Amino acid sequence: MIFASVPPWLNLLAYAYIISSALCALYIAFDVFARGNRQMMPIMDYVWPITAMYLNAFGLWAYLDMGRPDSMQMKGMKMTQEHMRHMAHMHTEKPFWKSIFVSATHCGAGCEIGDFIGEWAVFLFVPVLFGSLLYTEYAVDFILAYALGIFFQYVPIRLAGPSLSRRTALGHAIKADSLSLLAFEVGLFGWMALFNLALFAPGVINPSMAVYWFMMQIGMLLGHFTSYPANWLLVKWGIKSGM
């Protein structure tokens, strides 16, 4: 069945999910920045609220179970820039599967921001490429998601190893996150194809509508889990560190 218009129930569900996701993200941000539960790896201060924007209550649970116990305050550590540099890539005592889960959130945050910017850019500014709006979205989203995903990896590498040259740190970031970024986009792009081609008639939904972003949130959730095996392998192979 292809929807020729957005059903009222789906529109209501979309608003409920988006608002509850925002509330989960705001709670995490408040806990991190207002209560002082800053992460040992500074980039994670931003990753956790971003993660809740698509994982919703599951993202909040993950933060409370896996992220908050890693905070400087919870571990009784003085939060100095020098200390954060030394702690940035240290393994925590969490189980291996949780370490991989957190690695996937790290990858997913950059992808989420890139995809969000990309979707709006295509909707507002970018002409159709390759004769297809969907292919245009794929191209723009991937370029931005890849660039921001690598940036999210590059920052902690530079903090952990300030003696590394920028070029070397960038090379490590590309090596560590390329496969997981690709795997994330596989899940997201597969879902984008499904809802664009099989769930809604052409032009029924667009980025100005809540339902569109609800569909994208589902895709990002799927992307998180399709990136999980890639992150598992990368850590097992010693290419990147577990978190």
Rounded Cα distance, 11 and 205, in Å: 11
Q: What is the pLDDT of residue 76?
A: 59
Rounded Cα distance, 37 and 39, in Å: 6
Rounded Cα distance, 179 and 188, in Å: 15
pTM of this prediction? 0.89
Q: What is the pLDDT of residue 75?
A: 61
Neighbours of 193 (CB within 10 A): 13
Between 92 and 241, the more confident residue is 241
**Above pLDDT 70, what percent of the chain?**
91
Sole residue written with tokens 């997201």: 188
Rounded Cα distance, 158 and 150, in Å: 12
Lowest mean pLDDT among 43-57, 91-105, 121-135: 91-105
Look at the alpha carbons of 127, 224, 47, 90 in this order and tell me if their dihedral is positive or negative: negative
Contact assessment for residue 87 and residue 94, using Cβ atoms and an 8 Å cutoff = no
Tell whether the model's pLDDT for residue 178 goes beyond 50.
yes
Tell whether the model's pLDDT for residue 118 goes beyond 90.
yes
The predicted-structure confidence for 189-225, as pLDDT tens digits, reads as follows 999 999 999 999 999 999 999 999 999 999 999 999 9
Rounded Cα distance, 84 and 107, in Å: 20
Q: Which of 83, 76, 206 is nearest to 137 (CA)?
A: 206
In degrees, rounded to 5, the angle at the alpha carbon of residue 222 between the alpha carbons of residues 221 and 224 is: 65
Residue spans per domain, the chain: 8-78+93-236
The predicted-structure confidence for 147-166, as pLDDT tens digits, reads as follows 999 998 888 888 777 778 88
Rounded Cα distance, 195 and 26, in Å: 28
Could you give the 3-state DSSP secondary structure of residue 3? Answer: strand
Rounded Cα distance, 243 and 94, in Å: 9
Q: What is the pLDDT of residue 48?
A: 97
Mean pLDDT, rounded, for 7-24: 98
Rounded Cα distance, 127 and 129, in Å: 6
Contact assessment for residue 173 and residue 152, using Cβ atoms and an 8 Å cutoff = no
Helices (H), 64-209: 81-87, 96-124, 133-160, 166-194
